[in-house]
Amino acid sequence: MFAIMPVFLTLLAKLIHVYFCFLPESKLSIALDINSTCAKVAFFIISKSMNSPTPHFVPSRLGIYEPIHQIGIWGENFKRNGNPNTSTSVIVEVDNKLENESETTSHEMLAPSNNYEQEASKPIDKIQRRLAQNREAARKSRLRKKAYVQQLENSRLKLIQLEQELQRARQQGLYMGGVLEGSHIGFSGTVNSGIAAFEMEYGRWVDVQHRQICELRTALNAHISDIELRILVESGMGHYFELFRMKSTVAKADVFYVISGVWKTSAERFFSWIGGFRPSELLKVLVPQLDPLTEQQILEVCNLKQSCQQAEDALSQGMEKLQETVSSTVAGGPVDEVSYIPQVATAMEKLEALVSFVNQADHLRQETLQQMSRILTTRQAARGLLALGEYFHRLRALSTLWATRPPEPSLP
């Protein structure tokens, strides 16, 4: 690139000389002056390019561009405009720029020279400005993007929180729908706290249950003594009784909550009977795991199955009767009358029996478990508890699997 410069300049000098021959006398002196200064200029440029070592050019890109651009402009101007006037003005412009001479008085020369000055400096300035603007714009764009991403992250977190809250509120809200609207704000608060407390406790209960199952499994495989096993069996049984107590407490707060089974996983809920598992179902799950049983045991288990079934049927029929009673109470009275408060109020009283049903059902479950533990040996009881706990654990796993199943492809 810099090798071209001397060639350019010699060519330039020649051309200047040629053109000056055509200049009027008056401007000749100026032209001569210009000629000399041009030589200086040329020298200057070359010296500038020579003196400044290459590294100096690298950091300041504008520095490199300046002389090149100027010369390039010269070249361009020479190529494009064969006009002597313009060429001289170019020279003049360079002169002005580098030597700071402003002796040209000729307006004719001045005006175009000013333009070119601007044009020549304009590109340089323009480039500088454009680059600066680019940098600025890029920086602003990066900042904006950063802010946007930050906002997105925050929104995402908030959304997750809201979804969780909604889930919880929906579960509670569904079962508070039974309470007469608007009139039980305080009551709702207590119900809510009762339910919230139960949910927390139940979560812990499930964790403890899981731990107990693992302990039972290891104990049975390790063949520990019967006395130690008995302790595990007792604590396992006690754990279930604890659940019944918890349910009794929350049933007083909101019996519909308990009966709905919303506190259990979906697969468990499928088997729900008056707010929990059916004792007869329990026995069906347990008994195959208890082999071998003595003849006496088989007989007793058989009797237990039958008694269980009978008790369950009696309770189910009682529930049906309660449904009929509530239904007829709510539906009673003339429908053309606007007021239904008496019917609804009476129905409310009847619904209180539901709490008794939940308690009786849990009581039946408890009695069934206790009778089983009486019939079985310690080891069998341990196996039974393990089987029962494992069954519920698998039901919960089934629920999770179901919940996370891939969505079905939409049919056309």
Binding site for other proteins (CB under 8 A): 300, 303-304, 307-308, 310-311, 313-315, 317-319, 321-322, 325, 353, 356-357, 360, 363-364, 367-368, 371, 374
Q: How far is the CB of 408 from other proteins (least distance, A)?
A: 43
Residue 369 backbone dihedrals phi, psi, to 5 degrees: -60, -40
Q: How far is the CB of 318 from other proteins (least distance, A)?
A: 4
Q: How far is the CB of 393 from other proteins (least distance, A)?
A: 26
Q: Between 47 and 306, name the residue whose CB sits nearer to other proteins.
A: 306
Q: Between 133 and 294, name the residue whose CB sits nearer to other proteins.
A: 294
User: Distance (Å, rounded) from C-alpha 342 to C-alpha 348?
Assistant: 10
Q: How far is the CB of 328 from other proteins (least distance, A)?
A: 11
Q: How far is CA 193 from CA 90, 196, 204, 244, 405, in A?
A: 89, 5, 17, 19, 33
Q: How far is the CB of 368 from other proteins (least distance, A)?
A: 6
Q: Between 60 and 303, name the residue whose CB sits nearer to other proteins.
A: 303
Q: How far is the CB of 247 from other proteins (least distance, A)?
A: 16
Q: Write down the residue that tokens 């290891």 correspond to.
A: 218
User: Distance (Å, rounded) from C-alpha 77 to C-alpha 281?
Assistant: 101
Q: Between 115 and 360, name the residue whose CB sits nearer to other proteins.
A: 360
User: Distance (Å, rounded) from C-alpha 320 to C-alpha 116?
Assistant: 103
Please report the sign of the dihedral spanned by the C-alpha atoms of residue 260, residue 265, residue 269, residue 271. negative
Helix runs in 332-408, H state only: 341-351, 353-375, 378-403
Q: Between 137 and 331, name the residue whose CB sits nearer to other proteins.
A: 331
244 close to 368: Cβ distance less than 8 angstroms = no
Q: Between 272 and 307, name the residue whose CB sits nearer to other proteins.
A: 307
Give, for 49, the enclosing helix (H) or strand (E): helix 28-51
Q: How far is the CB of 380 from other proteins (least distance, A)?
A: 18
Q: How far is the CB of 320 from other proteins (least distance, A)?
A: 9
Q: Between 243 and 304, name the residue whose CB sits nearer to other proteins.
A: 304
Q: Between 109 and 361, name the residue whose CB sits nearer to other proteins.
A: 361
Q: Between 46 and 315, name the residue whose CB sits nearer to other proteins.
A: 315
Buried b (16+ CB within 10 A) or exposed e, 354-374: bbebbbebbebbbebbebbbe
Helix axes 226-253, 353-375, angle to 10 degrees: 170
Q: How far is the CB of 175 from other proteins (least distance, A)?
A: 21
- The one-character DSSP state at 340 is -
Contacts of 365 (CB under 8 A, 6+ apart): 240, 244, 276, 277, 279, 282
Q: How far is the CB of 341 from other proteins (least distance, A)?
A: 20
Tokens representing residue 405 in the block = 């199943």
Please report the sign of the dihedral spanned by the C-alpha atoms of residue 194, residue 348, residue 185, residue 178. positive
Q: Cα–chain-centroid distance for residue 124?
A: 49
Q: Between 58 and 302, name the residue whose CB sits nearer to other proteins.
A: 302
Classify residue 192 as left (phi > 0), alpha (psi -120 to 50) or beta.
alpha
Helix runs in 52-106, H state only: 54-57, 61-80, 84-99
User: Distance (Å, rounded) from C-alpha 149 to C-alpha 72?
Assistant: 46
Q: Between 277 and 357, name the residue whose CB sits nearer to other proteins.
A: 357
Q: How far is the CB of 374 from other proteins (least distance, A)?
A: 8
- The one-character DSSP state at 183 is T
User: Distance (Å, rounded) from C-alpha 214 to C-alpha 207?
Assistant: 11
